[in-house]
Amino acid sequence: MRRVLLLLLVCAPVASADIRLDTEPIPDLFPLEAAFHLDRGQAADDRSKSGVVGSIGMGYGRFDDDNTGTLVGAIAAGTYTDHWLVLASSELVTANDQIWRGHHTGLVEMHSEEDRADGLGGAVALQTAIAHGDARALAPVRLGQGRYVNGDVGGEALLHLGKDKDDFVFVAQLFGELGTTRWESPLLDHANRGSLGLGIGLSPADGELPRGAIDLLRGRVEHVTITRPIIAAGATAPIGSTDVRIAEIGVGAHEMTLHIDHELLAVIEGDLGWSWLETDTAEGRIEDNMFRMKLATALKWRTDRSRGARRLGIAFAREPGYTPDGQRLVVDWRTDLAYGVETPVYSLTAAGGISWIGTHAGRWAPTQARYGSHVELFFKLGRGVEGGAYHATSFENQHAGDPWATERTWSTEAGVLLRWRRDPDLAAPAPRYMCGGVRTVH
């Protein structure tokens, strides 16, 4: 039995990606909360469209059998104007005088006026995300477990094809992404990704729908090169690289953001389509085609000011993909749920996820079920200071490469923390929950 003890981890709120449990299909509201406030109680001229939210916590515990102090912090800043949306967020957790996990995002979007008489205009967006350190539970199959650095940068351009009608306008879409993953594992080296896509759809032209698009038809191609420094089973020589090729077509909605009456903030994601995948393995080329689906939303809304706020995140998805070593094509059925309640007295958050990974092509393996949960309760001590406890657990394979390489094991984290948070919108919570605790892997 192997034990790893960790005092402090970043634990995010409902509908966010960076609690110990990775609820990746649920959209992340944290960066948006800095710019889109829930402040209807203020006069229209006083309503803020920019701000900073964040939290910080300190603790002491054991990590790798050593006593250690830890520090965690999260911050998001943003602004929204008639022509610009700028968002940035960063989270870090340290242990043993080193960074244990980090996650950073950025978005810059330029858009034209909502009511251009000539119908011309559009939007251009550039966004980036970097994650590093220990993988979260239920991480995407293509990334696997273990420690790695993953970075993605993407861009999208929307060109209006006419004048807005009923708060929407037809747009042509061009989008692309570059990404890389580098694992700290002797079994895997790195993967480089590139994709390009086109589409046609509807884009909102209403201040209560500040960004996103409804996709009437959307197509994308992606090429992945995985470099592996090991000899695969059945191979007579080391495999220098494995190429994975993906083509997709579908309909749905992406990043549809709602800011209704300054009382509700929500993001809706939908995707129904088909994916064609092929990969070069040690045994030769394999290929398959699979149905793809995602229905997900994240919401934050105000109740009466004396009661605080509520949060809800729901996702149900079928995600075609590949194992980190590129030797199997797989499909991941996922369902995730998260809920949170805030009052002047306490904040309570609960989240859970179940994932079923099945082989579609390559070396056969039985369907693997993995699951995890997270719950936390904090009491408000005044002046933004809170004290409480959390518990998170998951059951899955801990292998960095092939999800079927070893048996699934339980991983548990639990602990207490004294934290300070800032949220200018509510007397209740700030958006990033930080939890002190002990992690044990059996």
Q: Lowest-pLDDT range, 151-155, 310-314, 341-345, 354-358?
A: 341-345
Q: Are 39 and 362 in contact (CB under 8 A)?
A: no
Q: Residue 187 and residue 229: Cα distance in Å, rounded?
A: 7
Percent of the chain beyond pLDDT 70? 80
- C-alpha distance across the termini of the chain, in Å: 5
Q: Are 79 and 105 in contact (CB under 8 A)?
A: no
State whether residue 32 is helix, strand or coil: helix
The rounded mean pLDDT for the chain is 81
Six-digit token string for 431 = 């958006």
Q: What is the pLDDT of residues 295-322, one digit of tens each?
A: 999 999 987 655 678 899 999 999 999 9
Per-residue pLDDT, averaged over 72-91, amounts to: 89
Per-residue pLDDT, averaged over 275-285, amounts to: 89
Q: What is the pLDDT of residues 130-149, one digit of tens each?
A: 999 888 889 999 998 888 99
Among 109-123, 200-214, 232-246, 269-283, the range of highest mean pLDDT? 269-283
For residue 295, is it within any domain?
A: yes
For residue 211, is it within any domain?
A: yes
Task: Identify which has the larger pLDDT, 424 or 421.
Answer: 421
Task: Identify which has the larger pLDDT, 286 or 56.
Answer: 286
Per-residue confidence (pLDDT) for residue 100, from 0 to 100: 78
Residue indicated by tokens 């940068």: 153
Residue 423 vs residues 24, 68, 80, 110: alpha-carbon distances, Å: 24, 29, 17, 26
For residue 1, is it within any domain?
A: no
Q: Is the pLDDT of residue 69 over 90?
A: no
Q: How far is CA 367 from the centre of its chain?
A: 24
Six-digit token string for 317 = 């998805």
Which residue from 297, 416, 333 is spatially nearest to 11, judged by alpha carbons?
A: 416
Per-residue confidence (pLDDT) for residue 275, from 0 to 100: 97
Ramachandran class of 29: left when φ > 0, alpha when ψ lies in -120 to 50, beta otherwise: alpha
Per-residue confidence (pLDDT) for residue 162, from 0 to 100: 76
Per-residue confidence (pLDDT) for residue 19, from 0 to 100: 61
For residue 285, is it within any domain?
A: yes
State which residues form the domain around 204.
8-441
For residue 132, is it within any domain?
A: yes
For residue 3, is it within any domain?
A: no
Identify the band that residue 440 occupies on the pLDDT scale cut at 50, 70 and 90.
Answer: very low
**For the chain, counts of helices (H) and of strands (E):** 1, 21
For residue 2, is it within any domain?
A: no
Please, which residues bridge with residue 245 across strands? 223, 278
Identify the band that residue 174 occupies on the pLDDT scale cut at 50, 70 and 90.
Answer: very high
Question: Which alpha helices (H) appear in 92-158, and where do they start and end?
Answer: none
Identify the band that residue 81 occupies on the pLDDT scale cut at 50, 70 and 90.
Answer: confident
- Does this model's pTM top 0.95? My answer is no
Domain count, the chain: 1
Q: Residue 248 and residue 291: Cα distance in Å, rounded?
A: 10
Give rounded-to-5 percent helix, strand, coil for the chain.
0, 65, 30
Per-residue confidence (pLDDT) for residue 231, from 0 to 100: 56
Which residue from 53, 73, 60 is spatially nearest to 10, judged by alpha carbons?
A: 73
For residue 231, is it within any domain?
A: yes
Per-residue confidence (pLDDT) for residue 5, from 0 to 100: 30
Per-residue confidence (pLDDT) for residue 72, from 0 to 100: 75
